[in-house]
Amino acid sequence: MAGEHASDGATRSRLGGADVVAAVAAGGALGGLGRWGINEVLPTVDDGFPWATLAENAVGGLLLGMLMVFLLDVWAPGRYARPFLGVGVLGGFTTFSTYTSEVRVLLLDGRAPVALAYLFGTAALCLAATWSGLTLARSATRVRRTRPRRSP
């Protein structure tokens, strides 16, 4: 067993984290493709409200909440799952930069009430979606934090 850990550490040291960066990049490419697909299905319509971005961020929050239950409480820890799925796929799928740019465009178009509703509504919706994802996944797996929390 001790030899396994030493070998794993030597491999990680040689790679310098490039393997994790590659996992994040591959996941980001997949997440970005998913976001592109939603933008094709839900293009911004005449009212100019960014429904696609709202949907992407809310669904991403829900999935992130669910994923964290599985990564932290259900599945055995692994080196690539969190970077690939959490940072890569869901990070590429959700978009904070587009969300803030769309708020700016709504403000510049003189639609301050819509911009503010979108700004604060998105934050509230995404927090609720993430909490819902945590709750749904815990309920579905009947997990109540079986492993002790990791100390910082």
| Three-state DSSP string of the chain | CHHHHHHHHHHHHHHCCHHHHHHHHHHHHHHHHHHHHHHHHCCCCCCCCCHHHHHHHHHHHHHHHHHHHHHHHHCCCCCCHHHHHHHHHHHHHCCHHHHHHHHHHHHHCCCHHHHHHHHHHHHHHHHHHHHHHHHHHHHHHCCCCCCCCCCC
| pLDDT band at residue 152 using 50, 70 and 90 as cut-offs | low
| pLDDT band at residue 151 using 50, 70 and 90 as cut-offs | low
Give the pLDDT of residue 1. 45
32-47 pLDDT per residue, tens: 999 999 999 988 777 7
105-144 pLDDT per residue, tens: 999 999 999 999 999 999 999 999 999 999 999 999 987 6
Q: Is the pLDDT reported for residue 4 higher than 80?
A: no
Give the pLDDT of residue 77. 76
| pLDDT band at residue 145 using 50, 70 and 90 as cut-offs | low
Give the pLDDT of residue 137. 96
